[in-house]
Amino acid sequence: MRILAIGDIVASDGREFVYNNLGRIRKKYNIDYCIANGENSANTNGITKDIAETLIECGVDVITMGNHTFANKEYSAVLEDMPRVIRPGNYPSETEGMPYYIEELGFAKIAVINMMGRVHMEPLDCPFRATEKILDKIDADIIVIDFHAETTSEKLAYANYFDGKANIIFGTHTHVQTADEHVLPKGTAYITDLGMTGVRDSILGVKKEIIMDMYYTRKHFRFEKAEGEVWFSGCVFDIDEKTGKVNGIERLNFNSID
């Protein structure tokens, strides 16, 4: 089973690249299942129902979210009406939406879980304990977790804690792809961050001048999306659906697809 995980889709340029190219990407890499982080897919934070529906129509099977889950006013309609869009599981239990999605594919049952870190992030419930509660009640052949977190240390601690309890754990949120894809000692495939699908000549998808001024002056400015060439970032995980063994991990980072 080949699973494609797409790094944070940022604004209209990032999502248009996915709309127009995901079909060819799935075909080229023989993808069976696709997961994408969509928390920045609206300009420049959150997601709308139209965006979520279009991403699913073009080939995304599950959309994960993060700290910008509630940034767009349509969040409630998205989370309540679209089970394929999931939000971090350590938000309060009464929060709209579900923290995981399970699908029977015929040859395997896959579960996708979304969780969020707490270091330099919102003061949420413990992601370790929240994940344990979900793992205790779900049944699936393949378990994939998007851990949306800021620091590499928290991501590594989380991944190693759940090594052997999930088949794939990938990090999102920092928008910078890491080169540490590997299989942990107990068999879990891991990468610290998938990267960003958005305008490369930017600072995390935002116009560079805005972010530079913010750090130089310490003032806060309204973010505006960058303009320019879009790069696609993500990772392909090759998993034996019968044994759960990882057969390969391939990072993807490109600006066009044949």
Active site (annotated) includes residue 68 = yes
Contact between 6 and 60 under an 8 Å Cβ cutoff? The reply is yes
Distance of CA 42 to the CA centre of its chain: 15
Active-site residue (options: 68, 148, 173, 175): 68
Q: At what angle do helices 49-57 and 11-28 cross, to 10 degrees?
A: 20
Contact between 100 and 134 under an 8 Å Cβ cutoff? The reply is yes
Which residues are known to be catalytic?
A: 68
